[in-house]
Every structure is written in structure tokens, then in C-alpha cells.
Amino acid sequence: MAEKQKRLLQGNGACVQGALYAGMRFFAGYPITPSTEVAEGSARELPRIGGRFIQMEDELASMAAVIGASVAGMKSMTATSGPGYSLMQENIGYAYITETPCVVVNVQRGGPSTGLPTKVSQSDTMQARYGPHGDYTAIAVAPSTVADTFSETVRAFNLSERFRTPVTVLLDEVIAHSREIITIPEKGEIELIERVKATVPPEKFVPFEMTPNKVSPMAAYGEGYRFHVTGLTHDPMGFSTNEAKEIGPKLNKLRDKIMNYTAEIEKLRIEMMDEAEIAFVSYGSVSRASLQAASLARSAGIKVGCVQFCTVWPFPDDTLKEVLSGCRKVIVGELNMGQIVHEIRRILPDDVEVHSVLRYDGEIITPMQLLEKLEEVL
């Protein structure tokens, strides 16, 4: 790799670079700490490549503009943090039901409400799954390093285009504001996925067609296909329906197009799990502490491993069960009052002990804290 491809970047900067690499051409956002650098970077970079940046009047509008631009054919993204993420839920729900690809970056900070604008948190883990009202299936990815932030942002765009759905990048304040050297991949080094485009004659176009994989080919406004998009529950032609026989299939489509293809979405980082009897399980910035704690424990002769979720949603039930099958104890670290731990408890047999290390005072979980818990449960 050429030396010039190495860059010293913040997580937020790597997010912008990853988005540009993935083909982002439209960004709409509203300033909020600790995500603002994503908007600033997009404002700087997008006009230089003929893209578009717009600062909207609030997060409701930002999410709306992102969807509008995606319907018009552009790969689009917004970035925000807790309070803004709450405001975006309305139109994220619209993106779910209208099956509009887009990427939403949520740089998590402490809450509820205005909470802790400059302090780290992972308390939006469940909001990324169940944020908008109604039934749907969510995809969320979570980086743990600056380099990860680049590649996970690319992956978020790929997943959103592949599945015609909004994808959340669950960053946290620590990664967003850490500076690390990353190597920007060459063009073509990471495969880019584009939405499947409509190829049938316009009069045969069914915008929400029930295809075998439940993802309907998409047309952009202005490409000769005139179609209707609505947030009302709709039939395959896109027109609202109150018919039970049409409502069920539409909602099943939102679920099945994702849940039938979880192998394409799941991503776990598994370290030191050979013969591991105890596992640290975490995601995001906590995974850095987990990794160090596990390697310290290993050097002390304790059989500890490390499992990190790179995809948080959909939750990798079966894969995780398999990965943790040799463990009698699991220690889950997260920066909240206990969210992902309930998913882990749900999938593991009753005789596996599940322990939590929780922190929600704005500070990080340290390797020492995890080791203290390890000592306690040994």
C-alpha cells in the first residue's frame, strides 16, 4: 500500500471517508455534539466531487431530505447523536416502510434527553433496533476503531443498498473523537454494492414487487418510471391498502428480506476463543478494553476469549450460540444500564452464567474493571 494512503483521522473523519468511498453523494444534517465533524467533513468534501451537502433546520428535516435524495437516486447519509437520533425516528420509520436505502450515523452520547453531550455511551443500542413505532427489522453496525469506522461505514452503505433499508452506524463518542492512523483502501479493494435497478419497461414496473428474495428493484425519480411512494402500508404497486391479505405480506417482506439473509449481515470478531471457558462479549469502544483484558488474562493462564459484535442488529442468535458453546461464563461489558446483555441471556442455555459490567457515568469501561469482574466470577 502506498504511503500516501495512510491518514491520521478521527472516527468521525473516517466515517466521512468511508461514506465517500462507498459512493455517498448527498448528506443532510444538523449540528450536534459529538457527531458534528461528520457534517463538517461532508460539507467540505461533497462539493469537491460534485455531491451535495445541506444543513437542514432540524433532524426531522435532515432525515426527510436524505430519503428524498435517495428516492431521487443518490446514495445518502446523515449523522447525529442521541437527541437528534430520537427526532429522526419518525422518518427512519418512513424509510423502513418505503424501503429506501440510506445510512444514519448515531454517535452515541449519554442520555436521556440532552444528557451528556461530550461523554461516551452505548445507551441507544435498543433504540437502533426499536426506535420508530411499528413492526420492522433493523440493521445496525458498530465500529470499535477508527479503521473500523471507515470499513463499517462502507458496509453500512452496502447493506442499505443490498436490502433497500436504512442502516444505522452505532458509533460512540470515544471512537468518534479518537485519532488513529488508518490506511484508506484503493478503489475497488472493498466491493461496493449498488441497489438493484428496475430494468422492465415502465408500464410493467411494480415498485414494491414481491421478488424471491423480497427486495424489489428500484427506480429513481426522473428515470422514466413514474411511481408512488407512501408511508401508508401499501400494496406492491405502492398504493395504500387496508386489506389484511396485503398488509401481512408487506410487513413480512420488511422482515424476511433481512432475516432470511442474516449470513450476509452478521459479523463477529472472535479473538482468543480457542478452548476459552470464559468470554468477554462487547461492541464498540468497549471491545478495545475487552481485547486487552482477555490478553492480560491469557498471559496469566486463564482461558478467556473475546467476542465483538460488528453487526449489532439483527442479533446473531445462532452464530453467537455456537461461538460461545464452550463457555461456562460470559462477561458482557456495555456503556449503559444493561441492554445487549438481555439478548445474550436470551440465547444462552440456563447453565451458562451471564455477568454484566455496566457503566453509565460518562466514563469508559477499562480493562482493569473487566479483570476485576473476571476475578470475582472465577
Partner 1 sequence: MATAEKQKSDVVLKYLRPKKKFPSVWCPGCGNGIVMGAFLRAIDKLGYDKDNVAVVSGIGCSSRLPIYLDFHTLHTTHGRALPFATGVKFARPGMKVIVITGDGDALAIGGNHFIHACRRNIDITAILINNYIYGMTGGQGSPTTPSAAISTTTPYGNAEKHFDPCDLAIGAGASFVARATVYHTPQMERLIGEALEHRGFSLVEVISNCHTYFGRLNRQGDPVAMIKAFKDNAVAKARAEKMTAEELKGKFVIGGLYRSDKTEFCDEYQKVVDAHLVK
Comparing CB distances to partner 1, the nearer of 134 and 338 is 134
Least Cβ distance, residue 206 to partner 1 (angstroms):
11
Chain positions contacting partner 1, by CB under 8 A: 25-26, 28, 47-50, 52, 54, 56-58, 60-62, 64-74, 76, 90-91, 94, 221-224, 226-232, 237, 239-240
Q: Is the dihedral of CA 268, 270, 275, 281 positive or negative?
A: negative
Comparing CB distances to partner 1, the nearer of 194 and 277 is 194
Least Cβ distance, residue 50 to partner 1 (angstroms):
6
| Nearest alpha-carbon partner for 145 in 288, 308, 1, 335 | 288
Least Cβ distance, residue 235 to partner 1 (angstroms):
11
Comparing CB distances to partner 1, the nearer of 20 and 307 is 20
Comparing CB distances to partner 1, the nearer of 12 and 100 is 100
Least Cβ distance, residue 249 to partner 1 (angstroms):
19
* Helices 367-377, 286-299: crossing angle, 10 deg rounding: 50
DSSP for 340-362? HHHHHHHHS-TTSEEEEEE--SS
Least Cβ distance, residue 96 to partner 1 (angstroms):
12
210 Cβ contact partners less than 8 Å away, ≥ 6 residues apart: 216, 236, 249, 253
Comparing CB distances to partner 1, the nearer of 5 and 118 is 5
- The three-class DSSP label of residue 234 is strand
Comparing CB distances to partner 1, the nearer of 229 and 247 is 229
Count of CB atoms within 10 A of residue 137's CB? 18
104 Cβ contact partners less than 8 Å away, ≥ 6 residues apart: 63, 66, 77, 78, 79, 80, 85, 88, 92, 166, 167, 168, 169
The x, y and z cell numbers of residue 103, run together, are: 445510512
Least Cβ distance, residue 167 to partner 1 (angstroms):
18
What is the distance between the alpha carbons of residues 255 and 96, in angstroms, rounded to a whole number?
10
